[in-house]
Structure 1
Amino acid sequence: MLIHADADAFFASVEQRDFPALRGRPMVVGPQVVACASYEARALGVHAGMPLFQARRRWPELLVADFRSGAYESASADLMALFREVTSLVEPGSMEEAFLDVSALDGGSVEEAGRIAGRLRERARRELGLPVSCGVARAKLFAKLASRRAKPDGLFVVDAETEARVRPRLPVADLWGVGPMTTARLHDAGIVLVADLAGWTVESLVERRVAKAMAKNLVAIRDGVDDATIRLPTARRSVSSQRSLGRSTRQRSVIQEALRGNVIRALARLGDDPRPATRLDVHLRYDDDHAVTVPGAIDRPTRDPAILVGAAISALERTAYEEDGRGVTMVGVTFGLPQVADPGVRA
């Protein structure tokens, strides 16, 4: 049995924990771009990746907290340490979330896993001052969906009967890792729900321009043999984030906002890895499937989101995408990380 534990609105929750005047108020973590919005701000329509000046112009009541990377890294380290007190089998997904394999604990039943998740949430609130939502299920997909359902600050358990009933009814658009472009291709093929994958093979999905790795994942999800394996983290050489735009565009605001969001997500995916970015690459894909990569200029290793967003936007401008006759369908960013001699550094 797996638990997907995910701290709610992590950056904002750390600020609200440390500064009581921010609690219950619509607030965001800046500085130039919204790195995280509290649930009170999300209720207004504020979201990560939004330019801060735009958010404050539209919602003057927003409170803004400076981005304190040290505070978030410390809170992340405390959170991961708490997870590893529950089980040594922990796979971080970002600095505030992880999968925990609790199959070997107290019989590994779904009921016991739910109780373990409940105690974990209580400890996170009591000892760390952070709200953590948890999803419990047999495999990663349903554990992730369950924690999403549990938000904010809740617990949702998926037993075998519920999984068997819900699996075929899942919209493919809601599946973990399925972006707008893949969704559109699946819908064009008449595949809207997981049940619609009946009769499809990996090869036939690839013929519909679905990436082979995604096609294998979709078939595994259909057959109920999807990923339930915890992969212990090792030091990596880079971290990336990309976003399909869903439609071809050359609109500056759309592309820049997507790029800002990718910078924030890539930083979050570093988890408790303390290494800074030493290089930056911006990736674009056009509507003729031609892809380009443009390096960004970083004067010194950094994790400062404002510096990295600025470098990414500068690199984006060098592609001259607005003057190009083609439209952009995907934008992404990759941060290079320094190599480490210590194999215990976690990514």
Structure 2
Amino acid sequence: MMRRHASRRAWIWLFRFQRAEFYRDLADMFRRNEAMISFFEGEIRISGRTRQRARAAALRGMLATYQLGGHAGQLSHLLDGVVPRGDAMMLTGVDRADDKAAALSALAVAVEKQSAMRAVVLAHSVLPLLMLPLCYVLISVLSDVILTIDRSTPIYVKEELWRGTNGWARDVAQASEAYGPFLMALFVGVIAAALASLPRWRGPLRLVVEGWPVYGLYRDFQSGMLFTAMAMLLSNGGTLRGSLEDIAQRSSLWMRWHLSRVLRALDENPTSTLEAFGRGILSPYMLARATTLQRTAANFSDVLVELGTREGDRVLEGVRRAALAANVALVGLLLLLCTFMGLATLTVPGKFSSLMEPATLMELKQSHEADALRRPR
């Protein structure tokens, strides 16, 4: 039984990547005025013949829910547990819509836009994940070169050899040798803690870091998801406040906190909608775009619908820029450290060779001995 349940959950998870196509099939069902039970039974048979096991598992779950009765006619109820929680509020909008076929088609487009945003984020996450172990190995090798030179350098030459940036390179090499695994684990831990804090951390300090690469990327991604959900709810008869409250109920702690700030601002000044949304949930770019759209919009709900539908490419481009900034920041930091250590492995041997010239070596030795005699015993 447990194995069967785990297998079903795995197929449901795979189905979620195909759900935009399923929403379009549902839209066609409503256009043809086909009975829902007939649709489920027919699609299950087709899925069996075409070996679409993920789709078949999802359809069986929906059919079982439909046959239980209750709220069976509500798509949000039928698809509960089958599609991600992020779709739940948009499906509520579909349930409220008079033209369910058009609403489902819009939902399919919204899901595809969200998938595109996720793909952008994942694509820009691959390079830092690959670079981290490679940079760690490279820095370890370069550090070994520098420390080998340090161990073979006479004591009276070391002070001259390790001046300036060469000394910084030796400090990095010594830290790498002594604490390399710990620093690597610390770096990974900091990244993991930052990622874990994204949907949870709230408060005034969070507003300070919202523009930082990783946090800015998360804000822009979540704002894009918010726009698509708001567009679905508002275009199907929802009110601005009601839509915000509905989304907040099923959002992360971070999104709920931001939406509560928006709602409080609307309570204080119901006419300053743009200012309410400009309190941190929108990037400066998207805030500027919303300001532009508001000049010709009848109300701010129209602006949100525009951002969540026809402005989807601009929202995606904003997420892409934020992802690129985060990528450049993380990869650039790693490359900067590797480049610095690589240059040090060129400058240190050159400086070492010049200092080991007989005349220079003798001069340094005499200076060292003279300094030793002058030191109080």
The answer, yes or no, to whether TM exceeds 0.5 is no
- TM-score of the superposition, structure 2-length normalised? 0.23
Answer with 1 or 2: which has the greater Rg.
2
Q: TM-score, normalised by structure 1?
A: 0.25
Greater fraction strand: 1
The structure with the largest helix share of the pair is 2
Structure scoring higher RCO (CA < 8 A, sep ≥ 6) equals 2
